[in-house]
Structure 1
């Protein structure tokens, strides 16, 4: 894993209606991420936060479908450029959200540097909705579909390359809340998914072994997109769309430790930390602890 890390904050809450997730990057920094990574002998460059435009908080929807489309697209373009530049400077992009719509920009920027970018989508949700299948019009439920080239052209064609990723290079881990349209798309495209059923039945060790084996030879880089709602709300209460029965804190540490051992993670983002809904910044602290494991922190 690259020893030079660039932190990019994306304080965006435009992909949904619930307030507070825009403070996620600040909460993660406050929880001590820079000091944690510096203690692991990483060279840390904090690039600050992408500037996000403001809109009417009722949530503008174009054609009654996509909420805040123009603003999300603009922010995604800014983030894509920052991620692209970070990779060009041979640094590891570590992105803090913000809602999960920020992954549109992250993956767009990464796609300039990889022919077969792998993605581990650690999340309770598939984020594979479109304007036709989404029950809400919230773009934070669409970034994976958008990155596959499915959805509104103002998002899919953002920053060139379309699609940004291939379905056979994706592994979703922790899914337990999927809309009907997402289930259909998963089956049509053959996307590899480990639901909570598989995690309970196989165990996290087996899930991660299979995921790493599946991706290691078919990809030339692997991005980790970790939504804190992938964890059980007991361990990560400060998220906008909590779903009971999630991955445990310890299972998540094991997953991060195994990814660190694999040495194939080339970029990462941690999203959906909402301090307003949190308990004494617990969820941001969990995010920082998981990053510690991802970047090689050991008990002994």
Structure 2
């Protein structure tokens, strides 16, 4: 198994500074060494260039940094597509969740029809027209599905990158009203924390994996660390109580590895400023390793 680590130190899409240091926190937790320890070739390709928010204030704008995020996500998409086309698994380190626009566009170009497993406390299905905050990290899944009036929908190529019938959200527990309407309209599958509590992670993942591997050419895993309960992952930009616990999330990653379906993965929203001795960065490394095949025995 060959992987390429790509950092995207961006917090332009978030309302709280700090997740731009996420790639460093995950690297500091020895991601590359961990992957090599379990027999995976891991090449670190460095960081995508990201402008600083101090250079261009957006305080008076309703939507924050759309042009800058468009440029970054296009650059990321090209890099992801290049690595995937060389039969390498891109491991993308965020940064805020708006980077998923580029990750998914790049994988779509390289692989074709893509299934997406989206682990997140939030739905990320707002658009410029519906967002209450103007923060683009709450919009990437909508844009990837082809919704919203924005150039960000057209990253690398025009229009929809993934189909609703091959998209699954897991661990969601904070959903805005317009997002609920889009979920119903689009037909994406959402397993909220209620569903996880009721069904258990094993059954949820069985159904989710069936959905994302049906009539697709590859699977992208998008792991927002705020999908976990803040007790497990305190260093995230927008924590929400009542999330996935430690063993549940490891089981989810282990089942992904068991299915042998993963083509790319991103880990986002690690904020070391809010963390405790890099607990969230360390856990991110554990989860990437689990998704790529690490086992107890």
Q: Same fold (TM over 0.5)?
A: yes
The residue that corresponds to 1:54 in the other structure is 52
The residue that corresponds to 1:222 in the other structure is 219
After TM superposition, the score normalised by the length of structure 1 is 0.96
The residue that corresponds to 2:206 in the other structure is 209
Contact 1:123–1:230 under 8 Å retained in 2: yes
2:237 and 2:90 map into 1 onto residues whose CA distance is 24
Segments of structure 2 that go 5 or more residues without pairing to the other structure are none
* 1:122–1:59 CA distance, 2 compared to 1 (3 A): farther
Contact 2:232–2:245 under 8 Å retained in 1: yes
Contact 1:111–1:161 under 8 Å retained in 2: no
Contact 2:77–2:105 under 8 Å retained in 1: yes
| Residue correspondence of structure 1 range 21-60 to structure 2 within 5 A | 21-56=19-54, 59-60=57-58
Per-residue Cα deviation, 1:242-281 (whole angstroms, up to 9, x for no partner)? 0000000110000000000000111000000000000010
1:294 to 279, 291, 294: 291
| Residue correspondence of structure 1 range 251-270 to structure 2 within 5 A | 251-270=248-267
Contact 1:61–1:69 under 8 Å retained in 2: no
Segments of structure 1 that go 5 or more residues without pairing to the other structure are none
CA RMSD of aligned residues (A): 1.3
CA apart distance, 1:283: 0.3
Range moving further from structure 2, 12-21 or 211-220: 211-220
1:131 and 1:228 map into 2 onto residues whose CA distance is 24
1:178 and 1:57 map into 2 onto residues whose CA distance is 32
| Residue correspondence of structure 1 range 272-291 to structure 2 within 5 A | 272-291=269-288
1:138 is the counterpart of 2:141: no
Instruction: Give the number of aligned pairs.
Output: 297
Structure 1 runs, 4 residues or longer, greater than 4 Å off: none
The residue that corresponds to 2:115 in the other structure is 118
CA apart distance, 1:119: 0.3
1:113 and 1:48 map into 2 onto residues whose CA distance is 20
1:58 and 1:246 map into 2 onto residues whose CA distance is 35
Give secondary structure in 2 for the equivalent of 1:41: coil
2:52 and 2:149 map into 1 onto residues whose CA distance is 21
1:174 and 1:48 map into 2 onto residues whose CA distance is 30
CA apart distance, 1:53: 1.0
Per-residue Cα deviation, 1:106-145 (whole angstroms, up to 9, x for no partner)? 1111111233210000000110001121110000000000
2:295 and 2:25 map into 1 onto residues whose CA distance is 24
2:155 and 2:206 map into 1 onto residues whose CA distance is 34
The residue that corresponds to 2:162 in the other structure is 165
2:191 to 194, 217, 220: 194
1:11 to 9, 12, 30: 9
Contact 2:224–2:269 under 8 Å retained in 1: yes
Contact 1:5–1:42 under 8 Å retained in 2: yes
CA apart distance, 1:59: 4.7
Contact 1:17–1:59 under 8 Å retained in 2: no
CA apart distance, 1:65: 2.9
Give secondary structure in 2 for the equivalent of 1:266: strand
Contact 2:123–2:138 under 8 Å retained in 1: yes
